[in-house]
Amino acid sequence: MTKLSEQQYQVVAKSVSDKKALPGALLPILHDIQDQLGYIPKAAIDIIAAGLNQTAAEIYGVISFYHHFRLDKPGNHLVEICRAEACQAMGSEALEQEIKSKLGIDYHQTTKDNNVSLEPVYCLGNCACGPSIKVGERVYGRMSGEKFSRLMDKLSTYVVELGQGENHAR
Amino acid sequence: MPVKIYIPCDTTALAMGADEVANIVEFQSREAGLSVDIIRNGSRGLFYLEPLVEVETARGRIAFGPVEAEDVPGLIQSLVAHGDFSEGKAFAGKHPLYLGLTEEIPYLAKQQRLTFARAGIIDPLSLEDYQAHGGFEGLNQALALTGSNGPQGIVDEVKTSGLRGRGGAAFPTGIKWQTVLDTPAEQKYIVCNADEGDSGTFADRLLMEADPFTLIEGMVIAGLAVGANQGYIYLRSEYPQADKILNQAIKTAYAQGYLGENIQDSGQHFDLEVRLGAGAYICGEETSLLESLEGKRGLVRAKPPLPAIEGLFGLPTIVNNVISLASIPVILAKGGEYYRDYGMGRSRGTLPVQLAGNIKQGGLVELAFGATLHNLVFEFGGGTFSGKPAKAIQVGGPLGAYLPEEQWHTPLDYEAFAANNAVLGHGGVVVFDTSVDMAKQARFAMEFCKIESCGKCTPCRIGAVRGVEVIDKIIGDDHREQNLELLTDLCDTMELGSLCAMGGMTPYPVRSVMEHFPDDLIKAVPGKAQQEQEL
């Protein structure tokens, strides 16, 4: 297991101490850590467990139950494609295939250049204007393979211009 | 006087480019010397017209839509050339995207908006706007009732309204509240279920993004009614915009004395907090939601005990959907009878129907119960987006049945749908055109259950996996007759042997495909006959 960096340790320790007194504190703590680090490093589990007086297994069990929480670091951009029925009715299945082949990855994978991680999602609440995808915090409606390529070009350029991986992932 | 221009900030408007439009409107109007005041309102719910740009005139707000970034320069020029805002003269024919007065757009004019009365009209974060449009009238009534009659007066009003849970289960809200009121405890809770996971639904999101104070007001009233001083909004993490807006609205409500201690000098106390889910569909089930709020895996609990008696942290808890709670202010403000006078049979009041999927004019339509699906999909919705004939309509989310054409004239009413082995659920309507393969949809129902089952009940956890396998065999013509029988048997087992609706209702869409679209399920497999010959 990779050790936490000093900065990561600070984030985790602060989240736990800030929120452990909340009733039902675990989800708020996990969200807070993932919002800041982009994921929940495995080495954080023991610290959370100690803070909440629970076992590491309990913490891991909660993380693994929820699709949103991830234990591995995502790419610079987290792309989520809606797989639910309203988007299916607008051709999301073909869109999924197109996006996967453009990126050269499947769900739960990250591109080799570490630019994009791909996840399925079941409904973004944009069902009147599907098919929908979400990139970082932003939802895009009436998505197509072509529009996705343009969007990706824009996002890659943006990262290059900033000269660093701007972290869109939550 | 600057011209007031409204550009929505709800998720769908943003997904269709509203932020870009707002930026360009600001820039272009400055260039053109037109003084403007841009207001980021919520959406009216006419999503097929988003981004819908409205301009205030003396006659009322006039609308343009859908406005894309490249339409803005022409629109601003047109406003400068023809807009006489003080006189509010007709703008007709002056711009191709001109839609007339917003309130007169038939899609909106034909609706009966009670719960969504303010949606899209006000700035969602302006408390002054909220109050100017009837906000907190319900709370004032509730405080008056508490003073004269005790909390029972509020519960009685909710009972009179006939409101039933809008999350999908349609349990009478007043009876749930009565149970919590009658259960003595030091601490009680109000939990708002904002884990709107059903595909094809967005009413909760729209309400929270367009009129968050209504939800806050509804929850404060619920707190007064049952003696609870702590509320939680359990919001799905897929809704970051709603999260942002709700949190800002809550902060404002605290600052203005509508939350916290001594609400409006009444001596009443209510605290409210947003808690985020984490992408688990099952957490929309109330007991799973409570587990999640307690910081655990979202495993469904057995009932009884009812959450109204032993809910969050084992204490009496109201768990109500966003729309149920957001309907409380209008019920209190205008009286339970006013609300009850809408609707049919035992389905009282209005239902915000969400038109989604392959539909030309998707959006939110709030109508009294009793309208038909056909009326909604074809008169409001304008038919399919693709222009091909519609083939199936799924109502009520992923656990709802696919309705064939012969059932499209069923009135929207809980009992009428139940008679068709279908559900209204949370009011999501997803239209499919003739290109859909219904066998795939039946398979997806099982696949979705496999992905989202909490794992507590074996028929759901294992049954969904077997369901996918059995449907694959049926599609592939592998012992088709026997496997169809097996699938029926499996559906029975899931339905009868699961604690909650996840396993209990996944059979609904599957059975509806077996019953109404059998040809899709048992169509010939290309190349199969030849393969068999070769063997």
* Whole-number pLDDT of residue A166: 41
Q: Which residues of B touch A86 (CB under 8 A)?
A: 199-200, 356-357, 428, 430
Domain presence at residue A169:
no
Q: Measured between CB atoms, does A163 come within 8 Å of chain B?
A: no
Q: Measured between CB atoms, does A95 come within 8 Å of chain B?
A: no
Average pLDDT score over residue span B72-94: 76
Q: Are residues A141 and A117 in the same domain?
A: yes
Cis-peptide, bond into residue B8, ω within 30° of zero: no
Q: Are residues A84 and A157 in the same domain?
A: yes
Domain presence at residue A156:
yes
Tell whether the model's pLDDT for residue A160 goes beyond 90: no
Tell whether the model's pLDDT for residue B52 goes beyond 50: yes
Q: Measured between CB atoms, does A84 come within 8 Å of chain B?
A: yes
CATH superfamily of B127-340: NADH-ubiquinone oxidoreductase 51kDa subunit (3.40.50.11540)
Q: Which residues of A touch B427 (CB under 8 A)?
A: none
Tell me the C-alpha to C-alpha distance, in Å, between residue B119 and each of B106, B123, B264, B433.
17, 9, 25, 30
Average pLDDT score over residue span B122-143: 98
- Of 3.10.20.600, 3.20.20.140, 3.40.30.10, 3.40.1280.10, the CATH number of B343-433 is 3.10.20.600
How many residues belong to chain B? 535
* Whole-number pLDDT of residue B12: 98
CATH code for the domain in which residue A124 is found: 3.40.30.10
pTM of the model: 0.96
Helix (H) or strand (E) holding A146: helix A145-162
Q: Which residues of B touch A129 (CB under 8 A)?
A: 12, 15-16, 47-48, 50, 362
* DSSP 8-state secondary structure symbol assigned to residue B328: H
Tell me the C-alpha to C-alpha distance, in Å, between residue B27 and each of B22, B23, B39, B68, B199.
9, 6, 15, 15, 37
Tell whether the model's pLDDT for residue B159 goes beyond 80: yes
Angstroms from B335 CA to nearest CA on chain A: 32
Q: Which domain holds residue A107?
A: 77-162
> Which of residues B93 and A148 earns the better pLDDT score?
A148
Domain presence at residue A15:
yes
CATH 3.40.30.10: does it fit domain B3-109? yes
Q: Which residues of B touch A62 (CB under 8 A)?
A: 295-297
Q: Are residues A152 and A105 in the same domain?
A: yes
Instruction: Note the pLDDT tens digit of each residue in A96-141.
Output: 999 999 999 999 999 999 999 999 999 999 999 999 999 999 999 9
Tell whether the model's pLDDT for residue A168 goes beyond 50: no
CATH 1.10.1060.10: does it fit domain B438-521? no
Domain presence at residue A70:
no
- Cβ-defined contact of A129 to B359 (cutoff 8 Å): no
Instruction: Note the pLDDT tens digit of each residue in B250-285.
Output: 999 999 999 999 999 999 999 999 999 999 999 999
Angstroms from B453 CA to nearest CA on chain A: 10
Q: Measured between CB atoms, does A15 come within 8 Å of chain B?
A: no
Q: Measured between CB atoms, does A71 come within 8 Å of chain B?
A: no
Q: Are residues A158 and A82 in the same domain?
A: yes
Average pLDDT score over residue span B87-94: 64
Q: Are residues A23 and A96 in the same domain?
A: no
Q: Are residues A121 and A85 in the same domain?
A: yes
Q: Which residues of A touch B275 (CB under 8 A)?
A: 24, 27-28
Tell whether the model's pLDDT for residue B92 goes beyond 80: no
Q: Are residues A89 and A137 in the same domain?
A: yes
* Whole-number pLDDT of residue B90: 61
Q: Which residues of A touch B237 (CB under 8 A)?
A: 31, 68
Average pLDDT score over residue span B19-27: 97
Tell whether the model's pLDDT for residue B358 goes beyond 60: yes
- Cβ-defined contact of B363 to A128 (cutoff 8 Å): yes
Q: Are residues A126 and A158 in the same domain?
A: yes
Domain pair B3-109 / B343-433, same fold: no
In angstroms, rounded to a whole number, what is the distance separating the alpha carbons of residues B114 and B153?
21
Q: Are residues A108 and A154 in the same domain?
A: yes
- Cβ-defined contact of B292 to A130 (cutoff 8 Å): no
Q: Return the CA Rg of chain B.
A: 25
Mutate to test the interface with B, among A16, A123, A135, A170 (most CBs of B within 10 A): A123
Query: If we measure between CA atoms, which residue out of A86, A143, A144, A133 comes closest to residue B384?
Result: A86
* Whole-number pLDDT of residue B36: 95
Average pLDDT, chain B: 96
pLDDT class of B79 with cuts at 50, 70, 90: confident
Domain presence at residue A1:
no
Residues B190/B230, Cβ–Cβ less than 8 Å = yes
Residue in B with minimal Cα distance to A20: B295
Residue in B with minimal Cα distance to A139: B15
Residues B504/B495, Cβ–Cβ less than 8 Å = yes
- Cβ-defined contact of A122 to B358 (cutoff 8 Å): no
Average pLDDT score over residue span A11-18: 98
* Dihedral angle, C-alpha B124, B129, B132, B136, nearest 10 °: 50
Letter string b/e over residues B410-441, b meaning 16 or more CB atoms within 10 A of that residue's CB? bbbbbebbeeeebbbbbbbbbbbbeebebbbb
Tell whether the model's pLDDT for residue A72 goes beyond 90: yes
* Closest in A68, A128, A140 to B356, CB measured: A128
Instruction: Note the pLDDT tens digit of each residue in B53-64.
Output: 999 998 899 999
In angstroms, rounded to a whole number, what is the distance separating the alpha carbons of residues B518 and B116?
40
pLDDT class of B147 with cuts at 50, 70, 90: confident
Tell whether the model's pLDDT for residue B292 goes beyond 70: yes
> B324: which residues sit within 8 A by CB, 6+ positions away?
B163, B165, B166, B167, B173, B218
Q: Which of B56-65, B72-81, B323-332, B522-531 has the lowest mean pLDDT?
A: B522-531
Tell whether the model's pLDDT for residue B366 goes beyond 90: yes
- Cβ-defined contact of B441 to A85 (cutoff 8 Å): yes
Q: Find tokens 């991680």 and name the residue.
A: A117
- Cβ-defined contact of A127 to B277 (cutoff 8 Å): no
- Cβ-defined contact of A31 to B279 (cutoff 8 Å): no
Q: Measured between CB atoms, does A43 come within 8 Å of chain B?
A: no
* Whole-number pLDDT of residue B524: 81
In angstroms, rounded to a whole number, what is the distance separating the alpha carbons of residues B213 and B372?
31
Instruction: Note the pLDDT tens digit of each residue in B368-379.
Output: 999 999 999 999
Average pLDDT, chain A: 92
Tell whether the model's pLDDT for residue A165 goes beyond 60: no
In angstroms, rounded to a whole number, what is the distance separating the alpha carbons of residues B508 and B479?
23
Q: Are residues A57 and A13 in the same domain?
A: yes
Strands (E), B32-138: 36-39, 53-57, 60-64, 98-101
* Whole-number pLDDT of residue A167: 42
Provide the 3-class DSSP secondary structure of residue B279: coil
* Whole-number pLDDT of residue A170: 36
- Cβ-defined contact of A69 to B297 (cutoff 8 Å): no
Backbone dihedral angles phi then psi of residue A117, each to the nearest 5 degrees: -110, 145
- Cβ-defined contact of A31 to B431 (cutoff 8 Å): no
Domain presence at residue A72:
no
> B274: which residues sit within 8 A by CB, 6+ positions away?
B232, B233, B235, B243, B246, B247, B250
* Closest in B239, B294, B362 to A128, CB measured: B362
The total domain count for chain A is 2
* Whole-number pLDDT of residue B535: 62
Residue in A with minimal Cα distance to B283: A66
* Closest in A61, A122, A141 to B281, CB measured: A122
Residue in B with minimal Cα distance to A61: B297
- Cβ-defined contact of B278 to A86 (cutoff 8 Å): no
Q: Are residues A99 and A142 in the same domain?
A: yes
Average pLDDT score over residue span B377-394: 98
Q: For chain B, which residues make up each domain, given as ranges?
A: 3-109, 127-340, 343-433, 438-521
Domain presence at residue A167:
no
